[in-house]
Chain A
Amino acid sequence: EVQLVESGGGLVQPGGSLRLSCAASGFTLSSYSMNWVRQAPGKGLEWVSYISTSSSTIYYGDSVKGRFTVSRDNAKNSLYLQMHSLRDEDTAVYYCARDWNFRGAFDIWGQGTMVTVSS
């Protein structure tokens, strides 16, 4: 079965750090670009980051630029999001999503992992 499974969420204090992971199974991660998308409680979807198949191209949304770092380990079929200097407004469910046509068609999503930033 083709699936993505996120992990690493939890409660963190403002200014803290957290590393999210996304494990892919049922397909070869190295063949697809990947994205992180988040959703604050009761709010809409917000695109966070993009990483190309070989990690040669990386993009971030303005709200996380300079604080978040996306990476991948194709040998481990895994995607990561390192988050630093976390703020209250980073509280959200974080999804990893497969970009199957390299043009923003996110066809496979994980179940999401909740990140809560609070003192």
Chain B
Amino acid sequence: QSALTQPRSVSGSPGQSVTISCTGTSSDVGAYNYVSWYQQHPGKAPKLMIYDVTKRPSGVPDRFSGSKSGNAASLTISGLQAEDEADYYCCSYAGRYRVFGGGTKLTVL
């Protein structure tokens, strides 16, 4: 049950696009198409942004998109806005357990 690997931080200017990577193993990310992404603002509970690798819950802007290739998943945020500045976590279903990434701090310059 090792944590998925994410970059500690990424940054971008308003209007730009950023991509956050999430690397796992053939037992979690690579084994299932069940990767989800969460946004967390300071002092708040996480919010589901992407599930099943590519699907967006109702109410999540289509600026947020997800993808996966092999043992790695990615979250892309296009048209960056100031309110996107937050921590982002990936999470993978892995049968008998779920595993989160270490988190990535997104800074909007």
Contact = CB atoms under 8 A, between A and B. Distances in A.
B36 A106 contact: yes
A-B interface, 7 closest residue pairs, ranked by CB to CB distance from nearest: A105-B51, A104-B93, A44-B103, A109-B45, A103-B34, A47-B98, A45-B100
B86 interface: no
Given A45-B38, A47-B91, A107 B48 contact: yes
Interface string B67-79: 0000000000000
B98 A35 contact: yes
Given A35-B98, A109-B46, 19 more contacts: A44-B87, A44-B89, A44-B102, A45-B91, A47-B97, A47-B99, A47-B100, A50-B97, A59-B96, A103-B34, A103-B51, A104-B51, A105-B36, A106-B36, A107-B48, A107-B57, A109-B45, A110-B45, A111-B45
Contacts, number: 68
B98 A50 contact: yes
Q: Classify chain B: how many residues form its interface, as a range.
A: 20 to 34
A1 interface: no
20 contacts: A37-B100, A44-B3, A44-B87, A44-B100, A45-B40, A45-B91, A47-B91, A47-B97, A59-B96, A62-B1, A95-B46, A104-B51, A104-B92, A106-B36, A106-B38, A106-B48, A106-B91, A107-B51, A107-B57, A110-B45
A97 B99 CA distance: 14
Give chain B's interface secondary structure class: strand
Contacts of A111: 45
